[in-house]
Structure 1
Amino acid sequence: MADRPTSEVLAAAATAAVQRSRSPNTCNSEEQEYEKRLHFRRLIDPGIFRPNSRDQALASLKTLLKIANNLLDEPDNPKFQQFKPTNNLIKRQLIDPKGALEYAIELGFRAEVKDFQPYYVFNPRHRTDLRIGAAILEEVIDLEEKKQERLKRSRAEERAAAAAAAQNVKLAFLDDRKTKALRDSRERARQNANGGHQTPSHTASDRDTSPLPEIGMPGIGHSLASPDPDVDQHE
């Protein structure tokens, strides 16, 4: 009786069958989507982030995402299938900032004129591009907002640390003043306890200036002040 195949053999056979069933078109589609995602990322950075301020770039990305999501949610709504470049919001967020309009074009919007008015109208053949571009926008916006939140927290912590350091310096200064005031108060109390007088110090004028007493010289019996008898005899 032949051995029954193990689970590993069955799993390997199933994997091989799936790989054989995949058509070349499926592989090409995945490669194309991968390349398209890379292209959209490059349109954002450096395409939009480099020439514009960070805040302006983020505002433009959010406007693009809103346009894309509205169209994905309601593809048959004519209001979401086009936008006017002369609209104040569109002009401020897509037309004036560099790179933003190029991203909208890659999403599938094309310039048209209706009733002598300029429009950018979505081409339904680019629905896959719209889906991929919207997904990239969501990823980038989410990462950027998290980055800004971390930066905001870091700055807040730095400000708090600086404020704490300044407060410590102030408290140390106040402690020094209190210590000096307490020391001065104790000194005044000690002086008051001694009657307010300090022990006078001796000066040079207070020293005894009386003449030295006469000292007798041994052997002669004359004091230093008496005249020399020999000198008197010679005179």
Structure 2
Amino acid sequence: MASPSPPSSPQAAASNPIISAEALAAAAERRNRENPRQQTAAQLAQEHERKQKFRRMVNPGIMRPNPKEQALSSLKVRQTPSYLVFFLVPTLLKIAENLLNEPDNPKYQQFKPTNTAIKRELIDRKGVLEYAIELGFRPDVENFQPYYRWHKRHLEDLQVGTEILKEFMEVHKREEERASVSKLTIQEERRAAAEKVKLAYMDDRKTKMERDEMERQARGARASSSRPDGPARARIAGSPTREAEMPGQGETLTSPPPYEPPVDSD
């Protein structure tokens, strides 16, 4: 019969501590994050197709059937004033970011479709609810109340879908900035053209005024050269003038005597 092994010493117990399964899993997950495995070609192709699917769900899936402002409102976080208090409107990006930051928080794992803001931003807009379902939300009922709950097994879908939302919003932001710069450039060009026309008009007026002044001076010079000088004007002024006299001036013409027929001598 084998003798029982002697009890281990405190030093041996300290050198071989008992490690829980949770600690081992956490260490393995940490190693995977620090040293990610290199994906195969098939895995890369699958991930690319998943991203493309999310991209198509955003545009044209959400952007085409909805007015632009409404579609952007449902996709991104925005602030809306209500009674002078600002509150965040729940949108796809906000819901996804909350879940990524706190995936175990029950508050972020569900939303109620009957909520006014949720209904307006996620339910009534075409394509938005479908995107939320692709992120991992599924319909559920609790105490006769409808909910959409997220399941943790869809974590990879949530990560990819959130990445595509951020990508789309970044692209949209750059497009808006370029459009704003282009609009400013057009306005500056119009102002420059208007200023150019104004300067040309002022130059034309100045040129016309100068031309009119030169013509006025030329007319004055011609008028001065056509008049005789002082002595000539004096001689002309001192010469006597003879009035033309008509013959018979002062006489009046009378009518001829009346006609008398000749008298016969017989």
TM range (shorter): 0.5 to 0.7
Within a 5 Å distance, the mapping from 1:173-192 to structure 2 comes to 173-188=201-216
1:92 aligns with 2:106: no
Aligned equivalents of 2:202, 2:119: Cα separation in 1: 58
Of the candidates 137, 162, 177, which is equivalent to residue 190 of structure 2? 162
- SS of 2:60's equivalent in the other structure is coil
Within a 5 Å distance, the mapping from 1:114-153 to structure 2 comes to 114-153=142-181
TM score, norm. by length of structure 2? 0.58
Aligned equivalents of 1:70, 1:196: Cα separation in 2: 95
Identity of aligned residues (%): 53
Query: 1:162 Cα deviation (Å)?
Result: 1.4
Query: 1:179 Cα deviation (Å)?
Result: 2.3
2:31 is aligned to none
Query: 1:86 Cα deviation (Å)?
Result: 2.8
Q: 1:194 to 1:68 in 2, by over 3 A?
A: same
1:83 is aligned to 111
1:52 is aligned to 66
Q: How many residues align?
A: 176
Aligned equivalents of 2:64, 2:120: Cα separation in 1: 17
Decide which structure has the larger Cα Rg and report it: 2
Residue type at the aligned position of 2:56: R
Q: 1:190 to 1:151 in 2, by over 3 A?
A: same
Query: 1:58 Cα deviation (Å)?
Result: 2.5
2:24 is aligned to none
Alpha-carbon RMSD? 2.8
Aligned equivalents of 1:59, 1:198: Cα separation in 2: 85
Q: 1:133 to 1:198 in 2, by over 3 A?
A: farther
Aligned equivalents of 1:58, 1:90: Cα separation in 2: 15
Q: Indicate the structure whose relative CO is greater, using CA pairs within 8 Å and at least 6 residues apart.
A: 1
Aligned equivalents of 2:41, 2:213: Cα separation in 1: 91
TM score, norm. by length of structure 1? 0.65
Residue deviations 1:58-92, cap 9 Å, x none?
22221211110111001122221112223333223
Q: 1:144 to 1:198 in 2, by over 3 A?
A: farther
Residue type at the aligned position of 1:68: A
Structure showing the higher helix proportion among its residues: 1
Q: 1:117 to 1:188 in 2, by over 3 A?
A: farther
Query: 1:34 Cα deviation (Å)?
Result: 2.6
Query: 1:112 Cα deviation (Å)?
Result: 2.0
Aligned equivalents of 1:132, 1:196: Cα separation in 2: 94
Within a 5 Å distance, the mapping from 1:213-232 to structure 2 comes to none
Of the structure 1 ranges 154-163 and 176-185, higher mean CA displacement relative to structure 2 is found in 176-185
- SS of 2:66's equivalent in the other structure is coil
Aligned equivalents of 1:66, 1:111: Cα separation in 2: 19
